[in-house]
Structure formats: C-alpha cells, structure tokens
Chains A and B, each alone.
Chain A
Amino acid sequence: MAEEVLIEKWPGTVSSVTIGALKNEGGSRSAIIKVGGQKTLPFLFKEGQIPNKPVVAFEIWDISPDDWHPELIKEYGTSLKDPVVWAEKCVNDHKAELLCIKLQGAHPDFGNKTAKEEAGLISQLLKKVSVPLIIYGCGDNEKDNEILPACSEAAKGEKCLIGDAVQENYKTLTAAVLADGHNIIAESPIDINIAKQLNILISDMGLSLERIVINPTIGALGYGLEYAYSIMERARLAALSGDKTLACPFICFIGQEAWRAKETKVEESQQGIIWEQVTAIALLEAGADILVMRHPKAIEKINSHIQELFGS
C-alpha cells in the first residue's frame, strides 16, 4: 500500500522582491537578484513553488571596521581601508552577487560622515561594481534620516534595498525609497506584531508590500537564535496562510551577530567561521531569504549548501 504523503495547501505566497535594475530597466547593474516568491515552507520543493534561492550579501563598511574579529581583518587585509577596494575584492575574489554597504561611519560616535560624503560613496560604488546593492544606515535615527535619502537619490533607479525603517522612524526613508524606486527594509525587534504594523504603515504611504523586506532582528547561535527562529517560522506560517502583511522576504544580519559571540573569540579561526555558518543554516530553515554575512569561507559554505538544496 502506498503511503499517502501529506501536502499542505497554502493559500498564501511570499512576495517576490527584485533588487537591482539592469541597464534597460533604468539602472546600471549587470545582474539582478530576486528573492521570495515561495508558496511553501523552506525547501519543501515537492509541496509548492520555490522560484528563488536564498542569497548571501557580503557586508562591507564605509569606514575601516577596526573592531571586527582579527580573523575577518586578516581575511580582507588592507582592502578594509577603502570601501571601494573592499567591494571590488568581494565581487572579484569571492564572486559576491550582492553587497550590503553599512554606513557605520555616519554615526556620530564613529566619524559622523556627512550625507554628501555617503552619497558620494554610493555613487562611486555603483560605478565600480555592477552587483546590486543593499544600503544600510548607521542605526542613529536622526543621522539616518539625513544620509539615507541622499544615498537613495544618488542611487536613483538602481532598485537598491535600503534600511532600516523602524516603527518610530519610517516616514523619511519610505518617502525617499518611493521617490527613487528602491525597496525598503522594515525592522521589527523580534516581534511579529510590530513587523505587521510597520509593513501596514509603510504600505499606507504608497510603497507596495512587494517592495518590503522584513528584518526580524536575530540573535546569533547561542545568543537568542531561537527567538528569531520561532518568530520567523510564525510569520512565514501566517504569510503562507494568507496574511499578506507578513508575506515579505526576510533579511538576517548573520555576520554582525555571529562574530560578536564569545565563542568566536578564540585562537582557532574555524570556531568563528562555523558559528557564522551554523547561525545561517538554522535561519535558512526558519525562512531567511537574504543573509548578510562576513567571512568569505562561511559564505562559500552557505552558498554551496544552498546550491545542494536546490540541486537536481
């Protein structure tokens, strides 16, 4: 007797977000990235369509990240001193498909770079590398409201992904993203209700839900990973059950969290790499669509894992 498999019929679909615009689309990217679009839980290919692979973005900074783990600094070497060189190294040496430029240097405590400086950097990056771009603020609301609209304008038509919009501060960024044709990251601190609420607020301003990516904020392996894991599973189940306001892809800042773990601060370089890798693997199972990561080896391992999952 054949065992009958159990197929769930999900009425909902995760929205599909496109990052990057080609030359004939008003941008200058050589390739674009699509995420989302799933009609089932992670990697259950026999149940529903999974049109797009999860993707890794290399995290780069506008200033030299002096407090990064020595293993990461060793890996990127002097390229860290110049964001453009760093970006080129990611693309040329490590075959990065997507970059996430964090504008840490704009933070009042880390150099207080001006909007003009940051917008200049974005223009230069867009000129020197042809992969799609995630533009990520410094986390200081006031400062992000100055620099992100300027960067958005500098990247007009390139369909970047820009963040974070937060519950108390989403209007300025939403307006800029709307005006310049980008996508937005909506951050909700491990809270499904805030995620939903913020998505509604942003879409009420006219930016469609198909241009929002949720940053659920994550904890690293051993540091609250399970909270994000379950929040993501719950949100994804709600999305597949038909809640459109939660049906956005997830972006997870894996590298930033994993390399903060006490466990990585040991001599064996493998410990940090595997910490970043295992954090990513678990969150892929919870539904992560974009993984922002740091160590090239961890990224290589995750890419090959994704490849294996999607292999024929």
Chain B
Amino acid sequence: MALSGLDIYKLLPKTNCRECGFVTCLAFAMQLAKKAVSIEKCPYLSPESKEVLEESGQPPIKLISLGTGEKKMDLGNETVMFRHEEKFRNPAAIGFIIDDSLTDEETGKKVGEINKLAFERVGQKLDVNLIALRQNSTKENFIKVLKKILSSTDLGIALMTKDTPTLEEALLLSKDRKPLVYDLSGKHQECAKLCSKFQASMVVSGDSLEAIGKLTKEINSLGVTELVLDIGKKPLKDKLWDITQIRRMALKKSNRSFGYPVLVNAENVDPYKEAAEAATFISKYASIVLLSGHKTWEILSLLTLRQNIYTDPQKPLQIEPGLYPIGECNEKSDCLITTNFSLSYYTVLGEVEASKIPTYILSVDTEGMSVLTAWAAEKFTPSKISESINKFGVKDKVRLNRVIIPGYVAVLSGDLEEQAGLKVVVGPKEAAGIPSFLKNL
C-alpha cells in the first residue's frame, strides 16, 4: 500500500540536511509520496527504511503481461476494491479451454471461431484474449494440437500441461508468445525451474488461501516472480470469499504473497451457468476468466459486462456525435437534441424506440457530459448546438424546420432559435416524458 508523506517522514533521518535538494525532510517526504523524486536522493537513509520505502513503491498487485503484439494483455496492477473509488485498470482476460483430444480439423475450426469473437460497442473494440490448451493425453498429442493453435491464432496462450517434459517442449515452441504456464502436474518446483528458464509467467494453484500464500513465497524464492493465482475448484461462495480476501490482503495489508492477478476457471457445459460464474468474477476481482463455451451470444454478454465494469467512473462513456435516425425517419420526422454522454443518448434512444414514432436524435459533442453538466460547463450552448445542427446537416434532413431541446435547458431556446435559424420546441425534462410528448406534438 502506498505510504503517506507523514508515514515516509517517520522513516527519514529528520536532520533537515538539505542534501536532497529540499529544505526539510518533511518536504522531501511529501515529494516522495507523490513519487516526484527518488529515495536515492537521501544519502543518510538507513537500510531498513530504504527497504520499506522500496517495497511501498511496488504496486500492491503485480502487473503481469501475457501475449505479444496486438494481443498483448496487461493483468493486475489494481489499486481499489470498488470501481467508484478509482478506475479498475486492466480488464479481465477472457480465455477458452481447448482439450488436446481434438483432431487437427476440430482444433482449426474451434480456434477459427474463437478468433472471430470480436465486437464493437460504443466505439470500443471488444475482444477475447487467450486460448488455454489442456493436456488430457500424450505429449505427442499435446504438442501437435499446440502447433496447430500457434499457427492459427495470435491470441495469448496458456499451457495446461500434466507433466513437465510436455511443458518443456511446449515452452520451447511457444516461448516467443509470452505464454502462461498453468501446469496441472502438481510438480511446482520443476515447473518453476522451467518458467524461470523460459521467462514465462506461472499459475499458482492452491485449495486454500494458506496454501496459495505458502506456494507463492516458495516459487518466488525459486526465482519466478510473474505469478497468477488460481483459487481452484470449490463452491461459488467460497471462490467469492477467497478472491475478495486475496484483493483485500494485497491492497489493505500489502501482503506480497497475494499481490498477483487471480485466475478463475468458470468452465461449464451449460453456457448460462458458465456465464453466471464468469459474470460474477468479472464483477469481482478476476484478472483471467477461463471458459469452455464460445457461443457468440454468451461471449458478447460477458465482454459487454467487462466493458461496463472497467469503464472509468470519472470519464463517462461517449458516443460518436452525429444525427441518428431512429426508426423509418423521413423529412416529416422531428429531431430531439441531446448530448453525446452515452447514458443520456441511450436513455433518449430507449424512449424514442418505445414511442414507436420515427424521430432523429442529434447527439451534440459535449465531451461526454450529461445535459445539465454540459450546460453548466458551457459545452451545451446555443452556439455549440447550432454548430452541430449545421455540421450534421439537420436542416437538409429535418424539413419541419424545428428541433426539440431537453426541458432542463429551456433557457437556451431563444438564443438557439436566433443562431440556428430554426424553431426551437422545449421538450420534457425527463426522458420518460418523451413518448407522450412526441405523440402530442
């Protein structure tokens, strides 16, 4: 956990020697807390204090990178328990378990389908991240299927091997792809040696928190520091408890043994059940979620949830400003004006759709602010609105020669009429009033 300026001050010599370039030790401590200077600037720091300060400079949950190129994914480095405190930083990776019992053709088909799982929503690209190959048979089979996978996808790779010779050969083949080693043999020492040799990240599995904590320490001492924690197979509520504890211990107690991203295996033959578990852990603290199903409808819903949960609460989602026809619009259709804050737009959209009256929505670029916020910040002014009216050709498409503004900004109507050269009608204050408003227009 990050130390405050005062916490740091207590660790300094408190001699105000000024050799660091600051007038007092306290001033230096404040800059250290902001990470604006390096602790090296203090020549009189005790070794113990130095260790504490260096430790506190590490992120409480380690940042782990897997995959390469466009498919490189960053995991971990989270700093909060709740997303309203600060943005959740690195979205959970979604991975798919493939068994090595598949034929070449089946593998190619499945990987091809997984490759296609990419969507676009509100201007963002949503895609999947990993393929986890699980060993069920011989080394030869595993390697054969791995080769097929490596040649058919750019996605990240996880190696779920059952013996170390297989793992070694698999790592030789895939080391350039920054794979994740998820060995199921239980021989963690041999496995750690290989991870160290190939610079691979390693999954640490344990049935209990105690077992996980013990193992991470042991594996760290073997020189492997890029770890991912696996909370294992257990009832849903126990998984939820463990993953919450891991996050709390890492963030609140700076417990290094738990300061790693967490993996949840949600695989289930029932796609609804699988989605239920995956959605639970996308919401609560998983950095990798493994699935067996890859149906488009299941994955789209999970990727959308991930997008929602990992949205910056301080920076609202925006939509592309523009003139949107809703329903079969013609030149007699009206035009409602709102902002490009996605929630404002979608609320208006929902009501227009419910009204069943084809209507245009003009989304004005307010940098993602809602109606009243944008109005207060002068991003939703008569001149900004008339700029949008001209830019998106409202007058060419809407022949009624009038536009409708939100009721809360009725005060804009006079100036807007003048500047835009259109009649301005004041609409309802709440979007819920839109259907009856349109009906009675």
Interface set of A (CB-CB < 8 Å, partner B): 2-3, 5-6, 43-46, 67, 108-109, 139, 219, 221-227, 229-230, 233-234, 237, 260, 263, 268, 270-271, 273-275, 277-278, 281-282, 285-286, 297, 301-302, 304-305, 308-311
CA distance in complex: A3, B236 (Å): 21
- On whether the beta carbons of A226 and B272 are closer than 8 Å, the reply is no
CA distance in complex: A89, B121 (Å): 37
Measured between beta carbons, the chain B residues less than 8 angstroms from A234 are: 82, 84
Q: What distance in Å separates the Cβ of B353 from its nearest Cβ neighbour in chain A?
A: 7
Q: What distance in Å separates the Cβ of A132 from its nearest Cβ neighbour in chain B?
A: 26
Q: What distance in Å separates the Cβ of A265 from its nearest Cβ neighbour in chain B?
A: 10
- On whether the beta carbons of A229 and B308 are closer than 8 Å, the reply is yes
CA distance in complex: A278, B273 (Å): 10
Q: Does B279 contact A (CB under 8 A)?
A: yes
Contacts A67-B356, A108-B436 given; does A219 touch B84 at CB 8 Å: no
CA distance in complex: A263, B297 (Å): 9
- On whether the beta carbons of B241 and A46 are closer than 8 Å, the reply is yes
- On whether the beta carbons of A278 and B301 are closer than 8 Å, the reply is yes
Measured between beta carbons, the chain A residues less than 8 angstroms from B311 are: 226
Q: Which of B235, B241, B253, B346 touches A311 (beta carbons < 8 Å)? A: B235
Of B49-57, B183-191, B243-251, B384-392, the stretch lying at the interface with chain A is B243-251
- On whether the beta carbons of B82 and A278 are closer than 8 Å, the reply is no
Q: What distance in Å separates the Cβ of B93 from its nearest Cβ neighbour in chain A?
A: 18
The binding surface of chain A is classed by DSSP as helix
- On whether the beta carbons of B356 and A274 are closer than 8 Å, the reply is no
Tally of B interface residues using CB under 8 Å: 57
The binding surface of chain B is classed by DSSP as helix
- On whether the beta carbons of A285 and B304 are closer than 8 Å, the reply is no
Measured between beta carbons, the chain A residues less than 8 angstroms from B237 are: 43, 45, 308-311
Measured between beta carbons, the chain A residues less than 8 angstroms from B301 are: 221, 263, 271, 274-275, 277-278
Q: Does B372 contact A (CB under 8 A)?
A: no
Q: What distance in Å separates the Cβ of B271 from its nearest Cβ neighbour in chain A?
A: 8
CA distance in complex: A311, B238 (Å): 11
- On whether the beta carbons of B253 and A277 are closer than 8 Å, the reply is no
- On whether the beta carbons of A260 and B304 are closer than 8 Å, the reply is no
CA distance in complex: A309, B234 (Å): 11
Measured between beta carbons, the chain B residues less than 8 angstroms from A223 are: 343, 346, 350
Q: Which of A67, A274, A311 touches B354 (beta carbons < 8 Å)? A: A67
- On whether the beta carbons of B280 and A281 are closer than 8 Å, the reply is yes
Q: Which of B241, B253, B279 touches A282 (beta carbons < 8 Å)? A: B279
- On whether the beta carbons of B257 and A3 are closer than 8 Å, the reply is yes
- Considering the complex of A and B, which 4 residue pairs feature the smallest CB-CB distances, nearest first? A281-B279, A230-B84, A271-B297, A226-B308
Q: Does B3 contact A (CB under 8 A)?
A: no
Q: Can you list 9 pairs linking A and B with CB atoms under 8 Å apart?
A: A6-B248, A44-B240, A226-B311, A260-B350, A277-B276, A278-B275, A278-B302, A281-B279, A285-B280
Measured between beta carbons, the chain A residues less than 8 angstroms from B164 are: none
Measured between beta carbons, the chain B residues less than 8 angstroms from A301 are: 272-273, 276
- On whether the beta carbons of A308 and B235 are closer than 8 Å, the reply is yes
Q: Does B90 contact A (CB under 8 A)?
A: no
Q: What distance in Å separates the Cβ of A290 from its nearest Cβ neighbour in chain B?
A: 18
Of residues 39 to 94 in B, which have CB atoms within 8 Å of A's CB atoms? 82-84
- On whether the beta carbons of A109 and B279 are closer than 8 Å, the reply is no
Of residues 218 to 245 in B, which have CB atoms within 8 Å of A's CB atoms? 235-237, 240-241, 244-245
CA distance in complex: A32, B213 (Å): 45
CA distance in complex: A67, B236 (Å): 37
Measured between beta carbons, the chain B residues less than 8 angstroms from A285 are: 280, 283-284
Q: Does B309 contact A (CB under 8 A)?
A: yes
CA distance in complex: A219, B240 (Å): 24
Measured between beta carbons, the chain A residues less than 8 angstroms from B272 are: 273-274, 277, 297, 301
Q: Nearest residue in B to A231 (C-beta to C-beta)? A: B84
Q: Nearest residue in B to A277 (C-beta to C-beta)? A: B272
CA distance in complex: A305, B347 (Å): 30
Q: What distance in Å separates the Cβ of B159 from its nearest Cβ neighbour in chain A?
A: 28
Q: What distance in Å separates the Cβ of A125 from its nearest Cβ neighbour in chain B?
A: 26
Measured between beta carbons, the chain B residues less than 8 angstroms from A274 are: 271-272, 275, 297-298, 301
- On whether the beta carbons of B245 and A225 are closer than 8 Å, the reply is no
Q: Does B180 contact A (CB under 8 A)?
A: no
- On whether the beta carbons of B297 and A270 are closer than 8 Å, the reply is yes
- On whether the beta carbons of A2 and B210 are closer than 8 Å, the reply is yes
CA distance in complex: A66, B301 (Å): 26
- On whether the beta carbons of B236 and A225 are closer than 8 Å, the reply is no
Best-surrounded residue of A221, A224, A226, A285 (most CB of chain B within 10 A): A226
Q: Which of B236, B245, B271 touches A6 (beta carbons < 8 Å)? A: B245
Q: Which of A237, A282, A304, A311 touches B82 (beta carbons < 8 Å)? A: A237
Q: What distance in Å separates the Cβ of B240 from its nearest Cβ neighbour in chain A?
A: 5
Q: Does B34 contact A (CB under 8 A)?
A: no
Measured between beta carbons, the chain A residues less than 8 angstroms from B248 are: 6
Q: What distance in Å separates the Cβ of A257 from its nearest Cβ neighbour in chain B?
A: 8
- On whether the beta carbons of B210 and A6 are closer than 8 Å, the reply is no
CA distance in complex: A271, B248 (Å): 35
CA distance in complex: A134, B364 (Å): 40
Q: Nearest residue in B to A190 (C-beta to C-beta)? A: B343
Q: Nearest residue in A to B252 (C-beta to C-beta)? A: A6
Q: Which of B235, B257, B276 touches A281 (beta carbons < 8 Å)? A: B276
- On whether the beta carbons of A230 and B83 are closer than 8 Å, the reply is yes
Measured between beta carbons, the chain A residues less than 8 angstroms from B258 are: 3
Of residues 297 to 319 in B, which have CB atoms within 8 Å of A's CB atoms? 297-298, 300-302, 304-305, 307-309, 311, 313
Measured between beta carbons, the chain B residues less than 8 angstroms from A226 are: 83, 308-309, 311, 313
Q: What distance in Å separates the Cβ of B123 from its nearest Cβ neighbour in chain A?
A: 13
